[in-house]
Amino acid sequence: MKRSQGLRRKRSTPLMILVGLMWCVGTATASGDPGRFDFKLMATSRTSTMEKEMNQASAMGFRFAAVMGGETSFGGSEVVVIMQKGQEGASGSYQYRLLATNKTSTMQKEMNQAAGEGFGYAGQTVFETRFGGKETVVIMERDAAAGAGQAKYEYKLLATNKTSTMQKELTLEGENGFELAGMTVSRTTFGGEELVSILQRPVR
């Protein structure tokens, strides 16, 4: 029992570090600026709940800042999102969509569908959902005020359990105009523990 509790505390550490770093950044920034910065931290084990709460926070002027998935002290396996608001706020024009799946092919399809509606990549993490197991979670953001004028991207996901293979695939896609947007290690349906890279390139 003691060993289990010790392991649980270790898994909680990254989330605590995230919260601490965000507090320090906000404090340092605010101290060098006459304005103030507010933060909103949300944690839940359901991605649908998080999407709803993020859009509610956006309506109050907050904008996505950071995301991490893992074990929290009381909530178990959760996805934790921090949103922040500066002196001028974010005008409530940002909209958010959360995608969660353990199949990279499904995630790529859903990301490109969302991109077609004006959403762009904002962040990603991995956590164990109640029903889907260990999944990759991607947060996508859309500036409703920008309308058709905002940049649109095409997305491609690479997944492999060999770093040498990832190096080769990244180099190939880089030659095709893709840049790296984010990376996580996730348990996919068929590959086990895999390195998952999300790439993007502007749609011309």
Say if 171 falls within a structural domain: no
86 belongs to a structural domain: yes
By C-alpha distance, which of 34, 52, 50 is closest to 42?
A: 50
Report yes or no on 33 lying in a domain.
yes
Does residue 174 sit within a domain? no
Residue 176 lies in a domain: no
Q: Dump pLDDT digits (tens) for 135-152.
A: 889 999 999 887 666 778
Task: Read off the tokens for 149.
Answer: 């004028």
Residue 172 lies in a domain: no
Q: What percent of the chain has pLDDT over 70?
A: 70
Residue 155 resides in a domain: no
Domain span holding position 44: 2-150
Write down the pTM of the prediction.
0.76
Domain count, the chain: 1
Tens of pLDDT along 83-124? Answer: 999 866 555 689 999 999 888 889 999 999 999 999 999 999
> CA of 112: how far to CAs of 80, 97, 144, 155, in Å?
24, 12, 18, 6
Residue 76 counted as domain residue: yes
